[in-house]
Amino acid sequence: MTLMSDEAVFSLEDIAKEVGGSVRGNPRRLVSGVTSPWSADASRITPVWEKKVLEGLPEDVPLLAPPGWIEPGRDGVEVQNPRGALAKLLTLFCKPRSFPPGIHPSAVVHPEASVDPYVHIGPLCVVESGAHLSSGAVLEAHVFVGENVKVGEGTRIEPMVVIYRDTVIGRRCLIHGGSVIGCDGFGFESLSEGGLAKIPQIGRVVVEDDVEIGAAVTIDRATMGETLIGAGTKIDDHVHVGHNARIGRNCVLVAMTGIGGSAHLEDGVVMAAQSGVRDHARIGRDAKVAARAGVTKDIPPGKIVSGFPARDHREELKVQAILHRLPDLVSLLDDLKKRVDKLSEQVKGNDS
């Protein structure tokens, strides 16, 4: 593998070894990055998994493509599943950021906080009393870490993140900018004399290992006990998780998903964009909730649901198909009504 100045440059042979493919054309040809078909150029490799994308691509653009797609005279790497190989390809060219251990002079770290010598604390961060930051943890900048918060080894927290008291963050997590973890759950009680009384929220949030939390995500602390995010779960931007919710291992919560208080998602659940689940509902293992669906009752394991209220996806598709035909059905009913009225008039005429 070759390095030139600050830019990573690899031969097609290097790339083939990395992704488990085979070279077509010149194995020593060098490429300096990855690009899409819509901005393709000869210096970077272009992954392709749809044949229609090949139309119009210049012949000098190297490809990552399925076997048989790279024509004679063009350079590239053949691999059975280009889409699956893309992550390895991007990792090859990804420049890891460096966060040397140390505390920036502008950071405020309470003397009773426990900070491993190999922690990076960036500009204007605040670490309060009793917080524990493990080896390799990174607070980039403007990060607030509250009392008794625990941050595991190798976890990176991006700018403007707020982590409230007692929260536990596991190892190798990544929390993107602007997220708030451990804020009060939304708990209020109606008063007999009118108005609402706030219910104290005395629980905490626990985020297990290898969790990624997107930008502007909010995860509420539990009223009592824990709000739990299971190991390996990936949360997209602008997601809200309510108090006492339990999210299982390796779940996927896509952008603008809302999880009601005390809802329970078992392992492997996928919540697509703008979907939601009501408080106290349970979604079974490996179930999938389609985009903009609203779960109002328990969903069995392995089910695919869509619509509002969420129901079996195939049933919902039938409903949607019928809804699209409503204008024609109304016209048909109008026509039938006219015919029936005409027949009724004829019967009355014959009777008279």
Catalytic residues: 243
Closest CA to 181 of 227, 112, 134, 148: 227
Q: Where are the alpha helices (DSSP H) in the chain?
A: 12-19, 82-93, 313-324, 326-351
Please check whether residue 230 is in contact with residue 247, taking contact to mean a CB–CB distance below 8 angstroms. Answer: yes
Tokens found for residue 95: 């420049």
Return contacts of 256-261, CB within 8 angstroms, 24+ apart.
261/185, 261/186, 261/187, 261/220, 261/223
SS3 breakdown of the chain: % helix, strand, coil, rounded to 5? 20, 30, 55
C-beta neighbour count of 312 within 10 angstroms? 15
Cβ of 327: how many Cβ atoms within 10 Å?
9
Q: Report d(CA 137, CA 139) in Å as an integer.
A: 7
The conformation of residue 299, written as its DSSP 8-state character, comes to: B
Taking the C-alpha atoms of residue 101 and residue 297, their distance in angstroms, rounded to an integer, is 48
CA-wise closest residue to 43 among 57, 55, 53, 29: 29
